[in-house]
Amino acid sequence: MSDNSLRLVWIYPDLLSTYGDQGNALVVERRARQRGLDVARLDVRSDQPIPTSGDIYLIGGGEDRPQRLAAERLRRDGGLYRAVENGAIVFSVCAGYQILGHEFVNDLGQREPGLGLIDVVSVRGEGERCVGDVLADVDPQLGLPQLTGFENHQGVTHLGPTARAFAQVKIGKGNGTGDGTEGAYNGTVFGTYMHGPVLARNPQIADLLLKLALDVNALPPIDDRWYEALRNERIAAAQQPA
């Protein structure tokens, strides 16, 4: 953070924005402004370089081919590695999450290298695609309420020894490994399978990213009654028998 200005980078909206991922950028931006911060938001298309001096980076979900193209370009660009070395916070969803791991299976059925910023490996699941509502309890170290989301993925993600599970599913498949884990993180690089967009449904995650960026333990509260109503509605919907 420089002065009172937050640099928010949304990576590759042209490739990884299949699931309303712009909502995640809007929520971080708005909640930062509500706390009196200036926000410089940069939407970086896949033919543009990734800036290395951002505070928070967001990467969304996508279909298999754009996911491969995004991984190739991010590897070639190298900027996100440098940003993380500089202490940046990264929040990734689904295809973005798989790209931040060591590898995933691409649209050609081949093992595609990721960026290795989260200690996970994704494979193609043999079973049915994981589709549906998710309720998940977050790693207690992160101090967040129960999350709601919606997942839609074929990939199954295995955590390596240094990754921590982001959450444990109460409803839904999460990483799809059968152990109940959902998403993963290493340091300040986070990944989840939850869409929604997930920060619109769980603004407390956006606040976590802001707290990490500002290096503070608390933020001024915001009237979140609308979000709470949405949360309660989605919890009730997720608990309906299919």
- Residues annotated as catalytic are 94, 195
- 83 vs 95, which CB is nearer to ligand GLN? 95
Nearest distance from residue 135's CB to ligand GLN, in Å?
A: 18
The binding site for ligand GLN (CB under 6 A) comprises 61-64, 67, 94-95, 152-155
Residues 87 and 53: their CA atoms lie apart, in Å, by: 9
Whether residue 129 is annotated as binding a ligand: the answer is yes
Q: How far is the CB of 128 from ligand GLN (least distance, A)?
A: 12
Q: Residue 140: which residues within 8 A CB-CB, separation 6 or more?
A: none
Q: Nearer to ligand GLN by C-beta: 37 or 98?
A: 98
Burial-class residue 205 by CB neighbours within 10 Å (0-12, 13-18, 19+). buried
- Residue 164 pairs in a beta bridge with 185
Name which of 154 and 188 has its Cβ closer to ligand GLN.
154
Min dist CB 45 to ligand GLN, Å, is 18
Buried b / exposed e along 101-134 (16+ C-beta atoms within 10 A) = bbbbbbeeeeebebbbbbbbbbbebeeeebeebb
Closest to ligand GLN by CB, 88 or 94:
94
CA-wise closest residue to 185 among 157, 215, 204, 210: 157
Report the binding-site residues for substrate. Answer: 129
